Structure 1
Amino acid sequence: MSPLTTLTVVASLLLSDLTNSERVLGAYVFQRHGDRTAKSWPPTKLTSLGYSQEYMTGNLFHDRYISANSSYRIDGISTDIVNWAQITASAPQDDVIENSGEGFLQGLYPPVGSIATETLRNGSTVEVPLNGYQLIPMSDVKSGSGSEDNTWLQSTSSCGKAIVSSNDYFDSNSYNSLLSGTCRLYQSLEPLVNGTFSASELSYKNAYTIWDLLFVALIHNSTASFPSSTILNDTVMQELLVLANEHEFNLAYNSSDTIRAITGMTLAGEVLTALNETITSGGKSKLNVQFGAYASFLSYFGLAELPATTVNFTGIPNYASSMAWELVTDDEGTEIPATSDIRVRFVFHNGTSIEGSIQLQAYPLFGQSTVELPWAQFVNETKRIAIQSQEDWCQACGNSTGICASSSGAGDDSSSTSSAGSSSGRGMSLGVAGVIGAMVTLGVLVGLLILSMVVFGLQFVPKSAIAGIHRGSDASTVPAMKTTAA
């Protein structure tokens, strides 16, 4: 039931030969969450199986990028105890995705046992709990919050034009053809899903959530709660998966209206920024890991022209799928080489890694014939599809509220501030306004002083009288006001 079951076979033909002299300078990993409960029954939760998948995948990335014995080890990365300056992890505010990230990071840098023991000045030792458990903080990404509680992930992007573009698919000829042509298939599922979907909801319009419900049930539900039926067999599930793939890819990407792939554009910009930071920091930043949902995969697949490599890149990636961009060089030095000696390799692994092996396969990006692109070419191609700033995002999406609220008012204020010494017939200069403000403030203070005298029975006493009472004392230390009985 995998959407990309033949990827490893096709991809093996595209692998590049890796020499012993190759150095991996850094990498950016985008990781899908693990197995979860069905989307149609929110709140969705990461299952024990999903947590195990993520932990195992993280451990296998440890073996690839962290282990001292790996030929793919990132140059100079800490092999035992995590160095926070070298790794950045991020995820949207979503329980399933964030918990998946925690599991992955535990596998990426597993507990270090006695290595983490500290000796204090007084000679006593302190052991880190959980056998040297290592904490790796995660920051928030701007889009994708609540992804796994939404039946369609585009709504979590908040991008106005992208949402409109995705909805345009429901007016297309291809959609309407599948809607009418699959009516009987979806209606036949009614005995299995009538507790979740009404008869009117059983159509291609809900292709993904219907497939998702059945897929989750086949993994987790007992025979008693989800009895076997002649209605549902491997052939039917495969047909439902193909339809779900078609449905979701067309909502995530359209070659003639690329704003639909806003999540992929944003991801492309984040990847480019992070890899560039690895280069410009001299290799101080080494590994970025971002956790997310399948829509980011699909929209990036389309933007990077990966379906031209194999049609399987139009399918929904399995739980715990991974894609990574690796900075590599044949330079034998120990520093970051010139950018002319740096290449970028894109690798992908479809499916869960609970089986204990990860086969990251290299694929050519942007319709190129080779699986490694010179850094300059990767930059140019990525900039063509990427969004790299909040301003660009707001402009592309056509948003004008929230984080994209117009700043024209603030701009007007700042311009008037720059001409603070001038005044116009429609107002006063800031200098005059300042004097008036000071006078108003003084008036308020005097009013408060008089009020307090009335309330507490205070009265002014001439300084000369006070000086007479305290003759022989330093007049400067005598208060100008005294308290009398009311």
Structure 2
Amino acid sequence: MSTTTGTSDSKVLGVVVLARHGDREGFYQNSTDYTPSGTAITALGNVQEFQLGQKLRSIYLNASSPSFISTVNTTVVKDAQVQIRADGGGEGGVIFNSAVSLLQGLFPATLDYKTTLANGTTITAPLGGYQTVPIESVEPGNDISLEGWTSCNTFVTATKAFYNSPSFKQKAAEHSEFLDLLPQYLDGRAVTLENMWNIFDFINVRYIHDATFAKSFPENYLHQARDLANFHEYGIFSSPQPNGIGNIAGQTILPSILDGLASIADANNPLKLVYQAVSYKPFISLFNLTGAAEMNPQLAGIVNYAAALALEVRQPNAGGEPVIRFNFKNGTDDEEFNRYNFLGSTNDVSLSTFVDTLKPVAFDDLPTWCKVCNNQQDRGCAMLSTLSISSTDRVSPVGAGFVGAGVTLAVVSAMLAGLYLLGFLTIGKRRRGSKFGSETDSQEMKI
């Protein structure tokens, strides 16, 4: 493992970045199906993300950096050169707001962000040239790619099996004395290994924000809770087999990563910087799928706030096909991004090897998800079942949205037709005034 600085054996063509959200308020998620509660980002969380954006800018948008991406406009952002996606579920606005703060650091305000009007007046954007970068909010109800585990019945079954496994029960027995010490600090929360993520999150949030708690809670307890939470989450969000259900958070995000890498490597495509704002879960699955956790055991667990993975697409100076470099920064614990070994290699991995290894387990189409998750009801699966769409037919998240809209329209139309036939609904023309003062015809419905 080495830092990314000082490398001149290849040129960076572009980068795909995954970043966890910043510091937030307390958060609870069900220990079995991971149904989340609400929370909110803090001022600290916004600062962490802003600083991460500045760090990424210093690496990739700084002409003096050895990893400078020369094809990206470094002053005024060009929409065609960047793609930003943020998980709109789970922790909700925390992840989206983290993306907003990161982009402020990555593309800061500039007086160059201005326009000249036909009358010769020059207008500079507010706040000294604040740049608004388009962010796609990825809603779990319409798109499975950033939250593949949500409403996944097979995932729930696997989680329960993990809790009943000999290794889990042995871990619980080995640390029972430590768990017995925690109730006095947990404000009535259930103290079981099954609830370990919620225990750790409660402790961690209080340790950061509550001075009284931080003074009374032993620091070594925090480390022990973290270790148990790492065991807990790695056991749930990874699988020994690449196509195992525990890897679903990585399996569903992989297509957008692979598409981003391919676009960056394409000299005719302007896209050079892809950023996806996510929770900690895809990191665990991806570190497992890429073998990074096996080669670097410190990666087998929960990543810190504002942690970021940077998959660089590099063109070797000696020629040949592009290669992928695996760089990771674990939040504020790391001052710099570090280079990690992955896919069994101690060097950069060719793009074709990366794709050939991971593409077979990648999917983000709704029919496949419904089949893998044994779900015929949620996230659009009921609509697919109604329309008898084969799992071999690819339906994009956007397409699935149109399917849902079509089915909804058909149901509403049928309902209105029934009301009309029963005499509860009449349709007729009436005259009304428009907002411009003229009269127009309109349809009136009475129920």
How far is 1:283 from its partner? 3.5
Please tell me whether residue 279 in structure 1 is matched to residue 265 in structure 2. yes
TM-score, length-normalised on structure 1?
Answer: 0.71
CA 1:219 to 1:368, structure 2 compared with 1: closer, same or farther past 3 Å?
A: same
Give me the identity figure in percent. Answer: 29
Please tell me whether residue 31 in structure 1 is matched to residue 7 in structure 2. no
How far is 1:144 from its partner? 9.5
* Aligned counterparts, 1:220-259, within 5 A: 220-223=209-212, 226=213, 228-229=215-216, 232-256=217-241, 258-259=244-245
Structure 1: distance between partners of 2:381 and 2:123: 49
Aligned residues: 376
Q: Is the 1:89–1:138 contact (alpha carbons within 8 Å) kept by the matching residues of 2?
A: yes
How far is 1:313 from its partner? 1.4
How far is 1:204 from its partner? 1.4
Q: Secondary structure at the match of 2:314?
A: strand
Structure 1: which amino acid aligns with 2:346? S
Structure 2: distance between partners of 1:221 and 1:30: 30
TM-score, length-normalised on structure 2?
Answer: 0.77
Q: Secondary structure at the match of 1:85?
A: helix
How far is 1:227 from its partner? 6.8
Q: Is the 2:13–2:313 contact (alpha carbons within 8 Å) kept by the matching residues of 1?
A: yes
How far is 1:100 from its partner? 0.5
How far is 1:265 from its partner? 1.0
Q: Is the 1:306–1:313 contact (alpha carbons within 8 Å) kept by the matching residues of 2?
A: yes
How far is 1:407 from its partner? 4.5
Match for residue 352 of structure 1? 332
Please tell me whether residue 361 in structure 1 is matched to residue 341 in structure 2. no
Structure 2: which amino acid aligns with 1:80? T
Please tell me whether residue 102 in structure 1 is matched to residue 100 in structure 2. yes
Structure 2: distance between partners of 1:92 and 1:366: 27
Provide structure 2 residue ranges, at least 5 long, that are not aligned to the other structure. Answer: 30-36, 390-427, 429-447
Please tell me whether residue 384 in structure 1 is matched to residue 384 in structure 2. no
Higher helix share: 1
Structure 1: distance between partners of 2:222 and 2:28: 18
Structure 2: distance between partners of 1:361 and 1:37: 28
* Aligned counterparts, 1:6-21, within 5 A: 11-12=1-2, 18-19=7-8
* Aligned counterparts, 1:193-232, within 5 A: 193-194=186-187, 196-197=188-189, 201-223=190-212, 226=213, 228-229=215-216, 232=217
CA 1:157 to 1:280, structure 2 compared with 1: closer, same or farther past 3 Å?
A: farther
How far is 1:15 from its partner? 7.1
Match for residue 60 of structure 2? 65
Please tell me whether residue 310 in structure 1 is matched to residue 296 in structure 2. yes
How far is 1:193 from its partner? 1.6
Q: Is the 2:58–2:65 contact (alpha carbons within 8 Å) kept by the matching residues of 1?
A: yes
User: CA offsets, 1:283-318, max 9 Å, x none?
Assistant: 411111000111111111111111221211112111
CA 1:358 to 1:82, structure 2 compared with 1: closer, same or farther past 3 Å?
A: farther
Q: Secondary structure at the match of 1:136?
A: coil
Structure 2: distance between partners of 1:165 and 1:211: 22
CA 1:316 to 1:392, structure 2 compared with 1: closer, same or farther past 3 Å?
A: same
Match for residue 183 of structure 1? 176
Provide structure 1 residue ranges, at least 5 long, that are not aligned to the other structure. Answer: 1-10, 146-152, 413-451, 453-486
Match for residue 79 of structure 2? 84
Match for residue 49 of structure 1? 44
Structure 2: distance between partners of 1:17 and 1:123: 47
Q: Secondary structure at the match of 2:157?
A: helix
Q: Secondary structure at the match of 1:36?
A: coil
CA 1:68 to 1:167, structure 2 compared with 1: closer, same or farther past 3 Å?
A: same
Structure 1: distance between partners of 2:147 and 2:135: 23
Please tell me whether residue 141 in structure 1 is matched to residue 141 in structure 2. no
CA 1:242 to 1:144, structure 2 compared with 1: closer, same or farther past 3 Å?
A: farther
Structure number with larger C-alpha Rg: 1
Q: CA RMSD in A?
A: 2.8
Structure 1: distance between partners of 2:28 and 2:388: 46
Structure 1: which amino acid aligns with 2:215? S
Q: Is the 2:149–2:249 contact (alpha carbons within 8 Å) kept by the matching residues of 1?
A: no
Structure 1: distance between partners of 2:210 and 2:23: 14
Structure 2: which amino acid aligns with 1:203? T
Structure 2: which amino acid aligns with 1:18? T
CA 1:125 to 1:16, structure 2 compared with 1: closer, same or farther past 3 Å?
A: closer
